[in-house]
Structure 1
Amino acid sequence: MLTRTTTRYVHFDQPFSLAGVEGIHAAGDYRLLEDEEQIDGLSWIAYRRIATLIEITRGQKTSLITIDPSNLEDALQNDKASAKLAV
């Protein structure tokens, strides 16, 4: 089965936390890696996400941590709402 990894960055204006990821993380840009596998048997090319990972750096240690994409979206929405309140 064909797999691919895409990379994108997300930005947090405020410190944030994510379910399944220990601690509070500083505001800033974070790299996400999304692994997808090709869906076989279709007459067109389609992929489904099989993993979402976020790169977290603490001190000199960088870790890739698997996260739930819905938890990430919740954290990004909370960050946007907090940024609007701060203005």
Structure 2
Amino acid sequence: MNMRSSRSTVTFSNAFSLLGYRGQLPAGDYDVLVEEELLQGLTFEAFRRTATYLLVLGAGGRTGRCEMRATCESDLNEALSRDRAASRSKNDSEAALSPLEDLK
């Protein structure tokens, strides 16, 4: 069985949570590791996703450690959608007009 893996980075602007894990993770950049296997018997090359992991760096006394949290693409996309919505509402609610300056 031929396997391949790819790594990408996602950015959360706000603290977020993932389905199946307790607590919230801080805002920041997170690496995502995707593993795929080659589908056999096709006349063209195609891969099927077998695993998705969010790499979470340790904090405090666990600095230097990295935890691979198993997740799925839909849960990760849902967390990113919630983050975008929270950022939009935060920006909308904090919008304010600057005071008018006296023109001389």
Please state which band the TM-score falls in when normalised by the shorter chain: over 0.9
Give the greater-gyration-radius structure (CA): 2
1:50 positional shift: 0.1
Q: Percent sequence identity over matched residues? A: 33
Matches within 5 A, 1:64-75: 64-75=68-79
1:22 positional shift: 2.8
* Cα distance in 2, alignment partners of residues 65 and 80 from structure 1: 21
1:72 positional shift: 0.6
Return structure 1 stretches of 4+ with deviation > 6 angstroms: none
Unaligned runs of 5+ residues in structure 1 are none
* Structure 1 equivalent of residue 80 of structure 2: 76
Larger RCO: 1 or 2 (CA < 8 Å, sep 6+): 1
Normalised to the residue count of structure 2, the TM-score between the two structures is: 0.80
Q: CA RMSD in A?
A: 0.9
Question: What is the letter of the counterpart of residue 70 of structure 1?
Answer: S
Unaligned runs of 5+ residues in structure 2 are 92-104
Question: What is the letter of the counterpart of residue 83 of structure 1?
Answer: S
